Amino acid sequence: MKRILFITTRNPYSGRYSGDVIRSFKIINLLKRRYKIDLVFLGRKDNLRIKDLNIISFEQPNYLKKILYCIISLLKLEPIQFGLFYSESMKNYIQENSNNYDVIFFHHIRSSQFLPRDYYGKTILDMGDLYSDNYSQTSKYLSFLNPLKYIYYLESLIIKSVEAKIFSIFDEVLLFSKKEVDKANKSYDSVKKIIQIDESVEKLHKKLSFSSKKLKILFVGNLNYLPNILACKNFIKDILPKIRIKIPNIKFCIIGDIKDNDRSHLSKYNNVEILGMKKDISKYAKNSICGIANLSIATGVQVKVLTYMTYGLPVICSDQVAKNFDKNVLTYKSNSDLIDKIIKLKNKKNFWNSFSKKSYFYVKKFKWKNISKKYFKIVDA
């Protein structure tokens, strides 16, 4: 039986509603069915006990240490996020114990910094997206007066350099989007080691039906992620007031982890419901006109879109998000076009049914049961 060391920077069993946490949770529970798995992560273990899984956790560094690690990362021309998720004790543990394993599976680009020296087993990095592109988009989106604009620009350049290194030293690198795989193969000398493996959904729910009485617009996502909070703020300030003129009782329903100050700020606006994290969103989806993914900054495949689709909910996306979903989602050219499409979905049964059927049929190919088999092939290759 192969021994695998699985390295991630967040607790996969925290229950946090975040794409990277959910994905690592599913991969670990899959791999431990066939292999001997040791899990290493940054964060509190508490009394966590999981059957057939050995867990080694390391405490998050304190605030001052994180600042120090970020400065060191910059001096070494490494991404700031490496410093935010660095642990010296975790690094040393992996280095000292790496040769006990046949495979080391790294989850997320920031875990790549823990690659041990002189390790001769197989290395797999589940990177997901090209983060240099994401950070570059963020920099372009932010105002010249916002200091974050320049931090994101610098980070995009550094991450691009790190990505080039990753594609040369890791045995396998996994990306979600076929478009990003093609882009990476053109941009880097990857020697065909990049593998496209889709995002996934656990199951399909009972397909929803049309009702003109539905009054919710649904947004699901981690609101601690800058593109998500920017998308929500944009919708609340620029879109929602104009929709309320035609549909006074409309509700913009936000589900996901959110900081207290953002919750307090957004709650001041009329017709906004901030629900925090929810394990089951069925009752909210049932009363929704559509799910939206109006992100101005986006790379790869957005999990929120697949989540909406598992209910047969019509989805409206920005162009940046829609390019990975072909014609199975609605797109818009302007704010007024977005408003018109939401109102049309609310009032036109045939229009709603058309995109409901498209989303429900399309998402079937993303079922975890089918996609999970690829991970065994990658480990055993």
pLDDT averaged per 10 residues, the chain (length 381) = 94 81 92 95 82 91 92 93 95 96 96 94 93 90 91 93 91 89 77 84 94 96 92 96 95 93 93 91 95 90 93 96 92 95 97 97 93 92 84
- Amino acid 189: pLDDT: 67
- Amino acid 70: pLDDT: 93
- Amino acid 16: pLDDT: 74
Listed in sequence order, the residues at least 6 apart from 346 whose beta carbon sits closer than 8 Å to its beta carbon are 212, 214, 247, 289, 352
Q: 3-201+367-380 in CATH: which number? A: 3.40.50.2000
**Where in the chain is CATH 3.40.50.2000?**
3-201+367-380, 216-366
- Amino acid 299: pLDDT: 81
Burial 213-243 (b: 16+ CB within 10 A, else e): ebbbbbbbbbbebbbbbbbbeebbeebbeeb
- Amino acid 324: pLDDT: 87
Per-residue 3-state assignment (H helix, E strand, C coil) for the chain: CCEEEEEECCCCCCCCCCHHHHHHHHHHHHHCCCCEEEEEEECCCCCCCCCCCEEEEECCCCHHHHHHHHHHHHHCCCCHHHHHCCCHHHHHHHHHHHHHCCEEEEECHHHHHHCCCCCCCEEEEEEECCHHHHHHHHHHHCCCCCCHHHHHHHHHHHHHHHHHHHHHHCCEEEECCHHHHHHHHHHCCCCCCEEECCCCECCCCCCCCCCCCCCEEEEECCCCCHHHHHHHHHHHHHHHHHHHHHCCCCEEEEECCCCHHHHHHHCCCCCEEEEECCCCCHHHHHCEEEEEECCCCCCCCCHHHHHHHCCCCCEEECHHHHCCCCCCCEECCCHHHHHHHHHHHHHCHHHHHHHHHHHHHHHHHHEHHHHCHHHHHHHHC
What CATH class does 216-366 carry? Answer: alpha beta
pTM: 0.88
- Amino acid 304: pLDDT: 93
- Amino acid 368: pLDDT: 93
